[in-house]
Structure 1
Amino acid sequence: MQDDAARHSEKMRKIKAARDKMMATKTEEKGLIIVHTGPGKGKSSSGFGMILRCIAHGMPCAVVQFIKGGRDTGERALLRTRFADECRFFVSGEGFTWETQDRDRDIAAAQNGWRIAREQILDPSISYVLLDEINIALRYGYLDADEIVEFLLNQKPAMTHVCLTGRNAPAELIEAADLVTEMALVKHPFRAGIKAQPGVEF
């Protein structure tokens, strides 16, 4: 038993030494371009989790919500009622495209959302901007991916973080990003006939 404890302690000591050595080389800071994509659940949830982290660190932030703006969500209600001073919240969509059934209106809403997004990203007082479901607007051609990538690479302030969520992120955005996470779908209750529920889905 003591031998096991001693071996474990020695193994952890070596791991810590290697980790400390690696961490000593990580000295650069920059505002990140972050992409959450893939068919699995959790893309927006992760983006909003970072919103709460920013609030906790005293970092002003903003949300621009594309596409799914028709439904009131828990995160929107929380941020607007309890953290309005720390986080600006904009809704540019009117709901999923199969709900609006009006492509011209969807395009206009997405373009307006991108206009707002640029203003928030360029605002020197804002540290983090979440562009929720913007990848869906890109997929449907409501926004130009090259324009967005060019803006993020060449006009985004150096220390501002921007997170873009939604399925099917375009290849050029993935290439430009500093951090990309693809959520994999393993199992989802919707396939078993269970509807979206508050606190889990919205």
Structure 2
Amino acid sequence: MSDETPDSEIPEAGSGKDDARHAEKMAKKKAARDKIMATKTDGKGLIIIHTGKGKGKSSSAFGMIFRHIAHGKPSAVVQFIKGAMWTGERDLIEKHFSDLCQFHTMGEGFTWETQDRARDVAAAAAAWEKAKELIRDERNSMVLLDEINIALRYDYLDINEVVAFLKSEKPHMTHVVLTGRNAKEELIEIADLVTEMELVKHPFRSGIKGQPGVEF
């Protein structure tokens, strides 16, 4: 095609038969999707787990908390591990959304920082008691248990007690989100939604430290 070809003679990308086939394909996909969605009529509070070695477990969970805030739905957060560390999410929620989201920082920092198992067990037990209180309160539409999987991994909490509570005492319409790598199989078994974050690359391995707005 020469530079002198009139614009009116240049065929448009995706025109004609391609557009018709695409429209037909999408119409069939929509009809199938609508048929599936018509069968999904029930609603319930979900047990949601974000686990895996990849980054984004807490970030994704806080995204759900902010969705609840945006919808005007009361929610709550209990942090099991990151207590000694300032986070942007905590600052934002406490400054601007404390009327919609209770925020309880119960941990004392990462386990390698405290180096005191008795203190870690006591902190985890106190955090779990607060978590149960918040979950039992049906005014809370969602409760985030941030890094509880770490406390369970190190046996700071009894996994059987946590599972039994979620199965028997969680209100029907309350969502509970549990984050942290190495989620216990007992939790995965009773969960409604489990997402495993896969690590492909991480800047820490290249000598880059955690940065505000990305890691915290």
Give percent identity, aligned residues only. 70
The reply on whether 1:2 has 2:16 as its aligned counterpart is yes
Aligned to 1:116: 130
Aligned length: 202
Q: 1:161 aligns with which of 170, 175, 180?
A: 175
Query: How far apart, in 1, do the equivalents of 2:138 and 2:82 lie?
Result: 28
1:75 aligns with 2:115: no
Distance 1:146 1:174 in 2: 13
CA RMSD of the aligned region, Å? 0.5
Task: Return the alpha-carbon distance in structure 1 between the equivalents of residues 138 and 19 of structure 2.
Answer: 52
Whether 2:60 is the aligned partner of 1:46: answer: yes
Shift of 1:68: 1.4
- 4+ residue stretches of structure 1 with deviation over 2 A? none
Answering whether residue 75 of structure 2 is matched by residue 28 of structure 1, we say: no
The one-letter amino acid of 2:17's match is D
In structure 1, the residue matched to 2:213 is 199
Alignment partner, residue 110 of structure 2? 96
Which TM-score applies when normalising by structure 1? 0.99
Distance in 1 separating the partners of 2:159 and 2:152? 6
1:55 corresponds to: 69
Cα deviations by residue, 1:93-123 (Å, 9 ceiling, x for unpaired): 0100110111000000000000000000001
- Once the 2 structures are TM-superposed, how far is the Cα of residue 134 of structure 1 from its aligned partner? 0.2
**Residue 60 of structure 2 aligns to which amino acid in structure 1?**
S
Q: TM-score, normalised by structure 2?
A: 0.93
